[in-house]
Structure 1
Amino acid sequence: MTGAARENLGVVAHAAGDLRIGPVPEPVPADDEAVVEVAFGGVCGSDLHYWKHGAAGASILREPMILGHEVSGRVIRAAADGTGPTAGTRVAAHPLTPRGDGRTPYPADRPNLAPASTYLGSAMHRPHTQGAFARRVALPARMLHGVPKGLSLETAALAEPATVAWHGLERAGDVRGKRVAVIGAGPIGQLVIAAAHHHGAAEVVATDLFEVPLGIARQQGARTLDARDDEAIEALHADVVVESSGTVPGLAAAVSAAARGGTVVMLGLQRAGGVEAPMATAITRELTLAGSFRFAGEFGDVLAALGDGTLRTEGIVTHVVPVEDALRGFETAADASVSSKVLISF
């Protein structure tokens, strides 16, 4: 059966605890949109939050929404206005549409900070921005980047989270010859490890609570520590620490692990409101604390590095499940003790 003949199954969040896999309407593209036959989609932490809690941070689910923003596939109908890739092109999607609000300033060269931006599969605005977890979707042609020859669509589905990790690491500046510590070895943490090796770090050390992610980190060439070993983390004296767990203990550990004069990148999204952190330590060590949010213009560089093999991701994808079984895939992705990146196959 050809892709065009198959039912257009999608993964739709309706409310907290209500994830449905079922038919969605066929895409009706605008003139500047292409129709993409999705091959793989990566389950992200935000997708899990919409499923479990009906919200991801301040983005509250108020209507049914197709999830998913980490996708790869093939163009089956090019944009009518002639922009973007032609039919048959293998692509990965850059899910951001940057947009200002007319009153809040932001740096023009950092579109990820535009205050009214939309992102595939996000409930930040209403109507929500529908995601790309369906067999066929219409996407703006400008979002679509060609996948390098020889790079599998499975690996290309990692482009978006890999760019998040790449951007976060680069917020610390040049890491060549430095010791980089990664707090939290989930999928983003694993991709930070990969990016650190790509960028020439002398040593990468990763922490986590579970043996499965620690084993993958070792496979990635990192030295590993149990996240509960406070003494060993304090003794790291890392030049750069990337906090990728998004937890309050993880932030404290990141400060603890940093060398005097070092840099801590806050990549994992912390809960809203006040968060406790050892700020006296950050001050007396003269640490640089850098936030990191999504990414800016690095998507093409990451795809190229995936394509030429210099950004290595072996072992990070632990499970691939068919869309019909997406709920099981979400359940697996939610258990950090048994999985890293889970992909949905469409």
Structure 2
Amino acid sequence: MKAVVIHAPHDLRIEEIAPAPAPGPGEVRVAIARGGICGSDLHYYHEGGFGAVRIREPMALGHEVSGIVAGLGAGVRGLSVGDKVALNPSRPCGECEYCRRDMRNQCLDMRFNGSAMRMPHEQGLFRAEVTLPAGQAVRLSPETDLALAALCEPFAVCLHAVGQGGALLGRRVLISGSGPIGCLAVAAARLAGAAEIVVTDIAAPPLRIAAAMGATRCIDLSAEAAALEVEKTGKGRIDVVFECSGAAPALRTACEVVRPGGQVITVGLGSEPQFPLSLVVSKEIRLAGSFRFDHEFALAADLIDRGRVDLSPVLTGVFPMEDAIAAFDFASDKAKAMKVQLRFGGD
């Protein structure tokens, strides 16, 4: 069967690999239908990794996927051949200290599809078929669009982040950075009842998608550098900031616009900024990070499945799996692309 495999920076290949094994007890085999290209996939494609993580052996990419059940192992309940499913790429050990504390996203022995942190690498899901524990497959309704279902993983990241921000009902929210996570965070914040959602970026095209996702106001800081000055008055007017860009200046801006006692949730990864300690202390800002997700994956699948959210504006391109290189190149152009997906044979 075919898979999308990275060997080195800009050495992405469509390869024939061994078929997915027959599912054993408690396992399910899934024919992949759609797979979204994530920022981490792009780091592997362009740089061979990120931070200290580097490709040391060929690895199938991909962790944002949906598909159709093609086979069931003994003892699997709640799934049938032909079911549409979203696949959770996160597999915590269930036994470590943090798993026992119901903080499974902090698992000490986490396995995450499409990650080179381990050796051998944890293979990704950009494969024609995969066999994995049935608990990673979330059943969907027959009418659910598998393209939208493949957004469960990044949307779960945003639901987890919004959960870190506490009650948003009636709150004024600022989202810094309108990439895929920023735009999906708009949907999550709207769902949580935010009264106003301001989104900032330094480019206009992604802001147009943020507006389509329901942002109240979108600000291109490259054209309106002083647009946030009004939000800094009176020690700050924003209740909660979700910093999704990972840009060094953004954390200071977040601490300047948030009100005393407000919250800044850091979601984006990037440079290591100078920490605005004096603002955090003097304004009693509650600062928190947000990393991946846990129970939110099933919630994301449910919300998409029931049509409670419309995430379609973030989908800006679909390529056949055989054209993966063109898809990755297109996804790298932030002026044109938001979320780009590969289409496999599973749909």
* TM-score (ref. length: structure 1): 0.92
Which residue number corresponds to residue 10 of structure 2?
17
Q: Give the residue type in structure 2 aligned to 1:218.
A: A
1:65 to 56, 59, 70: 59
Query: Could you tell me which amino acid in structure 1 is paired with residue 205 of structure 2?
Result: V
Deviation at 1:81, TM superposition (A): 4.0
Question: Cα distance, 1:17 vs. partner?
Answer: 2.2
2:171 to 147, 169, 178: 178
In structure 2, the CA distance between the partners of 1:106 and 1:33, relative to structure 1 (3 Å rule), is: closer
Q: Distance in 2 between matches of 1:107 and 1:277?
A: 32
Whether the aligned pair in 1 keeps the contact of 2:23 and 2:72 (CA below 8 Å) is no
Deviation at 1:105, TM superposition (A): 5.5
Aligned residue identity for 2:182: G
| 1:306 maps to 2:304 | yes
Residues 257 and 29 from structure 1, CA distance in 2 versus in 1: closer, same or farther, beyond 3 angstroms? farther
Contact 2:76-2:134 within 8 A present in 1 as well: no
2:250 corresponds to: 250
C-alpha change, 1:105 and 1:160, in structure 2 (3 Å) is closer
Does the alignment pair 1:113 with 2:111?
A: no
Any conservation in 2 of the 1:148–1:303 contact (CA below 8 Å)? no
Q: Following TM superposition, by how much is the alpha carbon of 1:199 offset from its aligned partner in structure 2, in angstroms?
A: 0.9
**Which residue in the other structure is 1:233 paired with?**
228
The change in CA–CA distance for 1:174 and 1:80 in structure 2 (over 3 A counts) is: same
Q: Shift of residue 253 of structure 1?
A: 2.7
Structure-2 separation of matches of 1:243 and 1:234: 17
* Equivalent residue, structure 2, for 1:158: 151
In the alignment of these two chains, the number of paired residues is 336
TM (norm. structure 2) is 0.92
Instruction: Tell me how far apart the structure 2 counterparts of residues 11 and 245 of structure 1 sit (CA, whole Å).
Output: 28
Kindly report the root-mean-square deviation, in angstroms, between the aligned alpha carbons of the 2 structures: 1.8
Structure 2 regions of 5+ residues with no counterpart? Answer: 232-236
- Separation in 1 of the partners of 2:52 and 2:62? 18
Once the two structures are superposed, residues 140-191 of structure 1 have per-residue CA deviations (whole angstroms, 9 ceiling, x without a partner) of 2110001134320010000110000110111011111001111000011110
> Residues 276 and 230 (structure 1 numbering): CA distance in 2 closer, same or farther, change over 3 Å?
farther
Confirm whether residue 138 of structure 1 aligns to residue 138 of structure 2. no
Residue 111 of structure 1: how far off its partner (Å): 0.3
Pairwise CA distance, 1:308 = 2.3
Please show how residues 1-346 of structure 1 align to structure 2 within 5 Å: 8-31=1-24, 32-83=26-77, 85-99=79-93, 108-222=101-215, 223-228=217-222, 229-236=224-231, 237-271=237-271, 274-346=272-344
CA contact (8 A) 1:206 1:214 kept: yes
1:63 alignment partner AA: E
- Distance in 2, Cα, partners of 1:110 & 1:279: 27
Contact kept? 1:84, 1:141, Cα under 8 Å:
no
Residues 133/182 of structure 1: CA separation in 2 closer, same or farther (3 Å cut): same
**Cα distance, 1:79 vs. partner?**
2.2
Kindly indicate whether the alpha-carbon contact (under 8 Å) linking 1:9 and 1:21 is maintained by their aligned counterparts in 2.
Answer: yes
- Matches of 2:70 and 2:51, distance apart in 1: 35
Amino acid paired to 2:130: V
CA contact 1:233–1:256 (8 Å) conserved in 2? no
- Residue pair 2:164, 2:288 contacting (<8 A) in 1 also: yes
How big is the shift at 1:56?
2.9
